[in-house]
Structure 1
Amino acid sequence: MDKCYHSEFDVSNNTSKQVLCDINIPTDIVLIGAGIMSATLGIFLKILEPKFTIKIYEKLAKGAQESSNVWNNAGTGHAAFCELNYTKEKEDGSIDIDKAIEISESFEISRQFWAYLVKQKILNNPKSFINNIPHMSIVWGKKNINFLQNRFQKLQNSILFKGMYYSEKHQKINEWAPLIINGRNPNQKIAATYMKTGTDVNFEEITQQILNKLQGYNNVKIYYKNKITKIKKDNNDTWTLSTSNNKHKKIHARYIFIGAGGASLKLLQTTGIKKINKYAGFPVGGQFLVTNNQTIVHKHLAKVYTQSPTNTPPMSAPHMDTRIINGEKMLLFGPFATFNSKFLKYGSWLDLFYSLNRYNLLPLLEAGYDNFKLIKYLINQLMMTKKDKINALKEFYPKAELKDWKLIQAGQRVQIIKKNKNKRASLQFGTELISSSDNTLIALLGASPGASTAASISLEIINKMFQQSTNTTSWNNKLKIIIPSYNQKLDGNEILTNEIRQYVCSILELTNIKINLNDSK
């Protein structure tokens, strides 16, 4: 039996005492999955309440091997600078930037959190996990050019997007990203936006560094090769978790966070939480073309996104990205969708079928019927040869050659299918928190932009789970030290935005541009 130090914690007065515990005494919180979300939430809680006992369960041999793995995502620091699906065009032709502002605010919180962790020496060497890579959007065709221009003009109303440039001139775009222009028809009408302060992020590196720090605490235990199989609410307001560990078949916890990626849905279905009955999951995988041919790589320094092709879902938006992985620059292009029934890259072929029940089968069928364009898109993607994929790349990089690129398999995502009240089920593109009625159990469902917004999602979880504590002076003051803009909006606040960005960039060794609302580009 493992010895651990257990804190008997009273959230009503924010006090605790440590006692030697055994396996039958509830852990303060269990985190399921050792990815970016559990690592972020775990270190947040250790900073706020050092005496908390925490157990992390991960079914693989090490952390950050699913969606957080450096090869399983595009590494985009999602700040809504380049991702066109965060700025929807309304029926009247106007551009809705609310989602873009929300995403950008969330990423600013993540950067503040990482800066704090660097100051505390929890994260080391910022260049190992975050680097400036300009973010660009590029479009072609009159309708798309009009959209991008309108989007750019609307974004200029927000301080968060000041410093962005717009151009329809080949010569200027060539300065930003030569590979895009070299070999392109000079008469083709194109338009691009450019944001110098975009970033490339290695979420696996962040996760591993935090997990290594967490393992050093004597009241934190990480169990690898250990799968949680079932969760049940006890009569005494705690939870019992069944595990695959032969030594500890059952454990007890006061609080639970399920951050197990695609496995979260199946675990939620074991909890008895009724609201999960209206949810189903739709698994989608991805592939990327990659080159490390340095002659090519040195001619491109940007993450370049365009719009999803007509009648395809938002997840299909292609992009050509500079990546920095272990200090090496390379280029990545995709994603190309793949489909199988696994909910995790290292999951089971039966995952999709095991997730079906009498409650969510109809929502899944409804979503499939209503999203014929998704089914058609997946079929077309599955039929693509490598040559077809190179031809798709040539829309970005006209001189691309097959010999310079290889295909890699990326991560597996599970898109949420949700049955809304009095409405048919629909496919959701984003993330959502699902909680028990008393908020002692919370799970994260969905995909992008989860990793980039891990800190703001963690704050939301903390405020739900430990509301009484977050209202205390002690926790509130700590949160303001960790996140200097805590409970404040940057959008519309020129002074605060410049202060926060200068502080963050100086610590994370990033480029900063001091801006004001009267700037025009």
Structure 2
Amino acid sequence: MRKSLVAVAASCLVLASCTKTPPASSDKPVDVVLIGAGVMSATLGTMLKELQPDLSMQMYERLDSVSAESSDAMNNAGTGHSGFAELNYTPETPDGGIDTKKAVDINEQFEVSKQFWAYQVKKKYLGEPQSFINNVPHMSFVWGDDNIAYLRKRYDALQKENLFKGMLYSEDQNEIRKWAPLVMTGRDSTQKVAATRMDFGTDVNYGTLTRSMVKHLSSSQGVQLSLGHEVQDIKRGADGLWNVTVKNLGDGQSKTVRAKFVFIGAGGGSLPLLEKTGIPEAKGFGGVPVGGQWLVTTNQKLIDAHQAKVYGKASVGSPPMSVPHLDTRIIDGKKALLFGPFATFSTKFLKNGSWIDLPASVGTGNVRPMLQAGIDNIPLTKYLVEQVMQSQEDRVATLREYLPEARSEDWTLVNAGQRVQIVKDDPEKGGLLQFGTEVVASADGSVTALLGASPGASTAAPIMLKVLKVSSFKDKLATPEWQAKLKEMVPSYGRKLNADPAFANEIRGYSSAVLKLQAIKLDEPAAVKEAVVAKQ
């Protein structure tokens, strides 16, 4: 009997179905509550403040610093994800071809993010662009006949996409040695290898970027940043507004803030908070936490000798965030060299989370899809177990596939960030494990949450544009005033670049000039060139 009562109580906690509606408060409500001081909340807050400067905002962060979780430099790959090197974005089709759609979509999305950052640089919100974004070539590197055949097909397929023109391909060891000397030094001269290279790939310090955005946002009129404050509950009041219960972790005091719109952008911590809202749209979602670790070198000779992000093929069953890469980073103005990530498993949803995050997130609304996802993803479970059991020598052995002369003493294991992969209920298949991001919104759009991981921060701007479309601001979004402002912030808003080389050149030229990046000019069809000349 006691166990059944405990089970009922747990279900009530997870689904918020046994909690009475909080009474209306006489306190003046805030227009926007942003939960989490990471890149997603910073991006949405900045957009909304530009679109409607008189909005009042409150940002809550449970840690005592901004962007200390997933957005922090060492907690993510720091890649400006453009689909140039990430092989998991270009899967083989059943007929042996290459599906380029996802790579093109992600490239388009990153171009949107670059435009939004360029707008902020021009407005002097972010300081010098080199503080957060720099050119680092993006490479794919494989070995073995099957993988080489795949990479060649991938290159051929991407050459048909305008946004990927300028990509180089080689199976010549001497040519690849020029691109990435450390990758080829000490390698068997008879080994068959292949690589692609895009010179204008980027490295992004999302931690610095986020801190700059939040610094500007929190200095704006009507915006308050509260660090060391944990959101513990979100309930709709009798007046239709959201009552957000927040605990000051410094003095232990709690208070309730009324909000017209709530955005849950707390990374891995978003799922438990979304469940607390009790909205029907939250049911059926679960999450699988996956952590990461880097091998980091302090050997300056190695750091100086490598200048590229070299991506390989992921192991069977591994999540996308675990695609191996030998990675040049620019962190706080200093060059660094990392390899990984190696996956870890924890029941925490955040790097600084609780060990009961995973079990506390499972209830009657998502237990079936969670169990089904576990059954259907045995290879992922096997992969995680193998990763957790690895020794330093095991990790260095993997590193030697990319850096043949790697020495164990040159590399130190460092913990990276924690991600939560989405489990989504499917009417036919049960629980599906997804490796992207998902925007979940209430029917009226007054509360939205972002779940998931990769490609994450790189696509923050387009994801937040999607949030606006399903939020309670969607009607304002359609007004001429908001449309004009959006096109000022993102000049390509509402248009695609891949099918229009002339427009792509214009947009890339603009954002690259402002951000002080390289840009490759695309070849334009003869008819377009003639039209441009005639116009001039």
> TM-score, normalising length from structure 1?
0.94
Which one of 490, 493, 502 corresponds to residue 509 of structure 2?
502
Distance in 1, matches of 2:300 and 2:524, equals 39
Aligned pairs for 1:247-286 within 5 A: 249-286=255-292
Give 1:359 shift: 2.2
Structure 1 residue matching 2:283: 3-state secondary structure:
helix
* Number of residue pairs matched by the alignment: 498
Q: Structure 1 residues 23 and 67 mapped into 2: Cα distance closer, same or farther (>3 Å)?
A: farther
Aligned to 1:184: 187
| 1:489 and 2:496 correspond | yes
Distance in 1, matches of 2:375 and 2:321, equals 18
| 1:385 and 2:391 correspond | yes
Aligned to 1:290: 296
Greater Cα shift, 399-408 or 246-255:
246-255
Give 1:248 shift: 5.6
Aligned to 1:134: 137
Give 1:96 shift: 0.7
Give 1:247 shift: 5.7
Deviations 1:345-375 (A, max 9, x none): 0001111111111222222221111111011
Aligned to 2:464: 458
Distance in 1, matches of 2:394 and 2:203, equals 27
Structure 2 residue matching 1:186: 3-state secondary structure:
coil
Contact kept, 8 Å, 1:23 with 1:248, in 2: the verdict is no
| Uncovered stretches (5+) of structure 2, i.e. residues with no partner | 1-24, 527-536
Aligned to 2:127: 124
Contact kept, 8 Å, 2:320 with 2:454, in 1: the verdict is no
Aligned to 1:145: 148
Distance in 2, matches of 1:472 and 1:162, equals 36
Structure 1 residue matching 2:305: 3-state secondary structure:
coil
Aligned to 1:444: 450
Distance in 1, matches of 2:231 and 2:164, equals 42
Contact kept, 8 Å, 1:318 with 1:333, in 2: the verdict is yes
Aligned to 2:477: 470
Give 1:423 shift: 1.8
The 4+ residue runs of structure 1 with deviation greater than 3 A are: 245-248, 310-315
Distance in 2, matches of 1:350 and 1:313, equals 22
The code of the aligned residue for 1:514 comes to K
Aligned to 2:41: 38
Which one of 100, 107, 112 corresponds to residue 110 of structure 2?
107
Task: Quote the sequence identity (%).
Answer: 49
The code of the aligned residue for 1:196 comes to D
Deviations 1:169-227 (A, max 9, x none): 00111111011111111111111000000000000101101111112123001111111
Structure 2 residue matching 1:452: 3-state secondary structure:
helix
Distance in 1, matches of 2:253 and 2:351, equals 27
Distance in 2, matches of 1:198 and 1:461, equals 27
Instruction: Indicate the RMSD between aligned Cα atoms, in angstroms.
Output: 1.4
Structure 1 residue matching 2:74: 3-state secondary structure:
coil
Higher share of residues assigned helix: 2
Structure 1 residue matching 2:73: 3-state secondary structure:
coil
Contact kept, 8 Å, 2:502 with 2:524, in 1: the verdict is no
Distance in 1, matches of 2:299 and 2:522, equals 37
Give 1:450 shift: 1.1
Q: Structure 1 residues 58 and 23 mapped into 2: Cα distance closer, same or farther (>3 Å)?
A: farther
Greater Cα shift, 453-462 or 510-519:
510-519
Q: Structure 1 residues 92 and 231 mapped into 2: Cα distance closer, same or farther (>3 Å)?
A: same
Distance in 2, matches of 1:475 and 1:514, equals 31
| 1:25 and 2:28 correspond | yes
Give 1:259 shift: 0.2
Aligned to 1:3: none
Aligned to 1:243: 246
Structure 2 residue matching 1:354: 3-state secondary structure:
helix
Contact kept, 8 Å, 1:162 with 1:517, in 2: the verdict is no
Distance in 2, matches of 1:306 and 1:98, equals 20
Structure 2 residue matching 1:207: 3-state secondary structure:
helix
Contact kept, 8 Å, 2:83 with 2:107, in 1: the verdict is yes
Contact kept, 8 Å, 1:313 with 1:373, in 2: the verdict is no
Which one of 424, 428, 434 corresponds to residue 430 of structure 2?
424
| 1:196 and 2:199 correspond | yes
Aligned to 2:160: 157
Contact kept, 8 Å, 1:321 with 1:332, in 2: the verdict is yes
> TM-score, normalising length from structure 2?
0.91
Structure 1 residue matching 2:417: 3-state secondary structure:
strand
The code of the aligned residue for 1:515 comes to L
